[in-house]
Amino acid sequence: MMGIIPIAHGTHYGFNEFGFSALPSGGRWSYGSFTSVGIYSLWWSATELSGTNAWGRGMYSGSGVMSRENYVKSGGFSVRCVREVDY
């Protein structure tokens, strides 16, 4: 994978320390092949790069490192829905 920007926080490996539990769901590439189920997680970001590409985030199981890369939008990655709550 090209352009990986590692982001890590100590030993918090997707165990809900920050309100988010990650499971290695893998993803689907734009040509239809599934990849990395049980090994890697891929999520879409809300940030678009162009009409065809957007930023995505990825994390390997057993590692606290998260990557940021741009992907073709026709791929299939997980989405995390976040709701703002007014107190």
- Quick: pLDDT tens for 8-61: 445 545 455 566 667 788 888 888 888 888 888 888 888 899 999 999 888 887
pLDDT in the model for residue 1: 39
Rounded Cα distance, 81 and 49, in Å: 20
pLDDT in the model for residue 52: 93
Residue 41 vs residues 10, 20, 45, 77: alpha-carbon distances, Å: 19, 13, 13, 8
Rounded Cα distance, 34 and 42, in Å: 11
Residue 50 vs residues 18, 24, 40: alpha-carbon distances, Å: 30, 27, 25
Query: Can you give the pTM of this predicted structure?
Result: 0.63
Domain ranges of the chain: 1-80
Mean pLDDT for 63-84 is 83
